[in-house]
Amino acid sequence: MTPRVAEIVCQMIAFLFAISVHESAHAWTASRCGDPTARMLGRVSLNPIRHIDLFGTIILPLVAAISGIPLLGWAKPTPVDPRNFRNPMLDDILTSVAGPVSNFIVATGALLLLGGISLSSSAGHELILGLPGDFASAGSDSALTFVAMMLYALMIINVVLAVFNLIPVPPLDGSHVLRHFLPESVRMIYDRIGIFALLALVYLGGGLLSALLRPFLRFYLSMLGKF
């Protein structure tokens, strides 16, 4: 397996795991808050098949990985019925932020495991130091190299997914927090134009997305450099 193919494989596996964790967190939290809809549909699961959207989960991320552009995509939305929540406003916010929080937890776990590899030996340290750059120069074709590449992809992709979903643009998770603090008339307009704002953000807001992501990615990479 060439370094480039290994990189694509790692990114796709990491992305499938990240979206599975994200959607499962939504479903599990909704169930704990009183809405069993997603749980009854089998969405509290790390099986990516339960969450796959053909275009958003397979085609778009694969094209992005092959072409070398930032890997973005989406899963099948987790069905939630807010009428079942015991505290509609608070429970909707908790259910919404559960997805991004779960991704930050996975990213932090991957960071700690990478730190463990770095501290395990001088070879491990050199391997981890090479990861932020070109994967092809990260090390030999060893099992440890592949594991490190996978953990690095998990860290980066989960950070990107968490931050992206916290942007307060409908239907992203962040919008479920903001909308509760808007007047009813503004909220209706906010919900209606959300999808157009999201498309504009994805296709025209590359600079804005980079500016939002950069501090979080820089933090995780700086922590990785301390090991």
pLDDT tens figures, 37-58: 999 999 999 999 999 988 888 8
Does residue 141 have a pLDDT over 80? no
What single string gives the DSSP state of each residue in 166-221? Answer: HSSSTTSTTHHHHGGGS-HHHHHHHHHHHHHHHHHHHHH-HHHHHHHHHHHHHHHH
Is 184 tagged catalytic? no
CB 42 within 8 A of CB 17: no
Catalytic residue among 7, 23, 126, 184: 23
**Which pLDDT band, with edges at 50, 70 and 90, does 86 fall under?**
very high
* Mean pLDDT calculated for residue range 65-84: 84
Q: Is 100 or 143 the better-scoring residue by pLDDT?
A: 100
CB 224 within 8 A of CB 119: no
Question: What's the whole-number average pLDDT of the chain?
Answer: 88
Closest CA to 53 of 23, 26, 27, 83: 23
Q: Which residues contact 153 (CB under 8 A, 6 or more apart)?
A: 7, 10, 11, 13, 14
Q: Specify the pTM.
A: 0.90
* Mean pLDDT calculated for residue range 178-191: 88
**Which pLDDT band, with edges at 50, 70 and 90, does 205 fall under?**
low
* Mean pLDDT calculated for residue range 153-169: 94
